[in-house]
Chains A and B, each alone.
Chain A
């Protein structure tokens, strides 16, 4: 592959997905695109770059898919999920008591471990969520990752990474050597093939947005744009979770951390009681309709 062909593919990737491949990572093209070259019966990467240059849509989609890093695990870093359960959920139960509904957007959901971790938390809290409508919308640009996410089938290795055994027993069943997450949890998450570089308006208001370990692959301008895109979906009392090594600092003023290095952010204009002071709502009255989380 010539330098020009490398640049052509990198440029397409940056514009299409936000992925910025620094020169020292260009070698990843070779290894990750080899299967795409094979799939189309091409001679080499140069031939592939010719198809990319002609904007063959299926080829472009496959190249983007192949270049995404889908690394993820259940309850990744643990702390964001305990914060979601102990801080955000009580705030939602209080703040949304009138509507009894909220929506969580999981951006860059990869093979599903992150949205399913959230679904398990909601399922564990089903008693408090009786009669509530809890939506989890999970988006990703990688169709391969989304297919895996929808199937909800994980290897023995994957179910040991971050997933407590108690939850494995409760929410998974063995299929051959693998484990599949229960139908009722799969039903709690809607997976959508969506590019985060596009306006998130179709998803309406999102009370909580997880956007973790995706911005790290973007250049600063794309990071800033993405954060603003996210912030526009957020009500004044909404929450954003970023990855452990991600920040809004120097990128946008629209989101501010609730505490330093908490990874949890709120809209700049957020007023009202400090998060820590938001009391959990009393146990939601039972009856009416069944919780969508149950």
Chain B
């Protein structure tokens, strides 16, 4: 049945955070892939566009803002739901992420309930 499972891409430079997010998302029925920075995320999206992207903001190489802009410009790049997931919690940072193309925004630390609520907000 794996063809029916939703796919997600977890983008974070912390391997520990990727592992936590992966476990939660797999429990919620996603097939998860990972990327350690924005450039890796774009490469991954070129290969296969996921249904949802959980995106950190501050990362080496290419940060979350640059990453979501680049992904939105790819063919099919408007499709995935993009949820920012970052410790940045200023109004400016949130507004910037939404303006850059994110659908939702999670301020770390977060828990399973918040992740589930945000997923249903973006309709996934």
Q: A residues touching B (Cβ–Cβ < 8 Å)?
A: 73, 78, 156-157, 160-162, 164-166, 168-169, 173-174
Contacts and interface: CB of A to CB of B under 8 A. Distances in A.
A156 B89 contact: yes
A83 to B, nearest CB: 16
**What's the interface size class on B, roughly?**
10 to 19
Contacts of B69: none
Contact of B114 (A160, A164, A166, A173): A160
The 9 closest A-B pairs by CB, nearest first: A165-B105, A160-B114, A164-B121, A165-B104, A174-B91, A156-B107, A169-B95, A162-B117, A161-B117
B118 interface: yes
B94 interface: yes
A294 B113 CA distance: 32
Contact of B113 (A78, A161, A166, A173): A161
Interface in B94-110: 94-95, 98, 104-107, 110
Contacts of B2: none
Contact of A165 (B94, B110, B113): B94
Contacts of B95: 169
Contacts of B90: 174
7 contacts: A73-B117, A78-B120, A156-B89, A168-B94, A168-B105, A173-B91, A174-B90
A30 B103 CA distance: 44
Contacts of B113: 161
A73 B114 CA distance: 11
Contacts of A157: 114
A161 B104 contact: no
A281 to B, nearest CB: 28
Contacts of B118: 160
B91 A164 contact: no
Nearest to A76: B117
Contacts of A73: 117
A34 B117 CA distance: 33
